[in-house]
Structure 1
Amino acid sequence: MPINRFPTVAGIKVPDSKIANEATELLLSHGNEFIYNHSLRVFLFASLNGERNSLDYDPELLYVSAIFHDLGLTKTFSSPDLRFEVDGANAARNFLKSHGLPNDSLQLVWDAIALHTTIGVAEHKENEVALLYSGVGLDVMGDGYENLSNAQREEIITAFPRTDFKKKIIPQFFEGFEHKTETTFGNIKADVCAFMIPNFHRKNFCDCILHSPWSE
């Protein structure tokens, strides 16, 4: 697929280590150009948020987290019964484990990916976890859009175009978990199912309580 690669974008150095490059190749092999551009924008937005707030973070681990965060939507890494976020997190953990990274790094990346759609939790975790969450929120929903300069926005979307992102991202999400819509219970991806499936019936937490097997 035709993709853009740049050593630096908007003042942020794109990791060029063996691990980073192999992660990129994995995404290019199993993903698509749309997800690739989204993932690179997420890394750049997350990094800019880190720089703006003077946070210490590991750029390589943040990059791998961004590269793998939506790989759970792809056929190669999608399981039949786990949340796509967990599929991506498991894939990233196995990848980093094969490179001999320590357990704390494996856990950090796993948490970053598994929690990247978990509103109200991820932003209170370690810097890499919180930053990935912020980068995803900025690219998908525009959270923190006002903190970017026009020049930063223009440079990033020129390097990694959005290409009708608003119209395409919801169907792209749905394609990744339409075979297991039950995994969206209790998370924001249930909104995607409701948008894509006419008369979609959401599992309801209160119903789970009221119809539990307990007698009282």
Structure 2
Amino acid sequence: MTKLIADIKIPDSKLAAEAAELVREHTDDLLWNHSNRVFLFAAMRGNQNQMKYDAELLYISSLFHDLGLTPRFRSEDKRFEVDGANAARDFLRSRGVPEESIRLVWDAVALHTTIGIVEYKETEVALMNFGVGLDVVGKNFELISADARQKIVQAFPRNQFKQNILHAFLEGFKHKPETTYGTINADICDVLLPGYQRPNFCHHVLHSKWDE
């Protein structure tokens, strides 16, 4: 049965269903609901602007975007965004998805926190970033109607999301805080990780091995 939420259709192809099954298995309600809200906000914005986008790829990108935070998919030495992107790539390749589509999903997941760049990428990549920004920090909040927001949150509740998501982020990379250097995730380590000392780019430049 087709599922519509705030007039947005949840993709129900075999590929989309298998992606959802995998992600649901490895995420808790916090990340599952967040990922679905991201897709819905992203798709809604795309529809508002009459943008042409691949809903299936946008959905899969949204589902996988935080999967790198989870125990099954987090690495010891890569940014969590890259871990999620690699998981999406492996999933799609195992099902014979064309490489161009895989690259699009990889970029959407890997770049979703790279503010100032990701919004200028391909439509699906930029739209997913829109959904992430709206759901996490309320960016462009007013661009989605109160009625639509209510329907989306009713379907995928926030359940104290603001209080819980920062700790979920930290749990995904507290064992490798060095991977957050130069990203917004360093803010999380700075606030929540005891003993963390934030690297400074100026220090790296001034204390490089160049003799001058």
1:79 is aligned to 75
What secondary structure is seen at the aligned counterpart in 2 of 1:21?
Answer: helix
Is 2:194 aligned against 1:195?
A: no
**1:186 counterpart = 2:189:** no
Name which of 122, 126, 144 aligns with 1:126: 122
Q: What's the counterpart of residue 18 of structure 2?
A: 22
Confirm or deny that 1:106 pairs with 2:102.
yes
- Please state if 1:147 is matched with 2:153: no
Deviations 1:144-176 (A, max 9, x none): 110111210110000000000010000010000
Q: In 2, distance between residues paired with 1:170 and 1:46?
A: 21
For 1:92, the aligned partner's letter is A
Q: What displacement does 1:6 show? A: 7.3
Match of 1:97 in 2: 93
Q: TM-score, normalised by structure 1?
A: 0.96
Aligned pairs, how many?
212
Q: Distance in 2 between matches of 1:146 and 1:30?
A: 32
In the TM superposition, residue 199 of structure 1 has moved relative to its aligned partner by: 4.9
Are 2:24 and 1:53 aligned?
no
Cα root mean square deviation, aligned: 1.2
**Sequence identity of aligned pairs in percent?**
56
| Distance (whole Å) between structure 2 residues aligned to residue 206 and residue 199 of structure 1 | 21
CA distance in 1 between counterparts of 2:148 and 2:106 reads 29
Please identify runs of 4+ aligned residues in structure 1 that moved more than 4 A: none
Amino acid of the residue matched to residue 11 of structure 2? P
Report the AA paired with residue 140 of structure 1: V
Matched, 1:204 2:195: no
Q: Residues 117-153 of structure 1: CA distance to partner in whole angstroms, max 9, x if unpaired?
A: 0000000000000001000000001011101112101
Report the alpha carbon displacement of residue 212 of structure 1 after superposing the two structures with TM. Answer: 1.1
Q: 1:71 to 1:176 in 2, by over 3 A?
A: same
Give 1:198 deviation, angstroms: 3.8
Alpha-carbon offset, residue 35 of structure 1: 0.6
Tell me which amino acid in the other structure corresponds to 1:211: H
Where in structure 2 are there 5+ consecutive unaligned residues?
A: none
Superposition pairs of residues 31-70 of structure 1, within 5 angstroms: 31-70=27-66
> Where does structure 1 lack aligned partners over 5 or more consecutive residues?
none
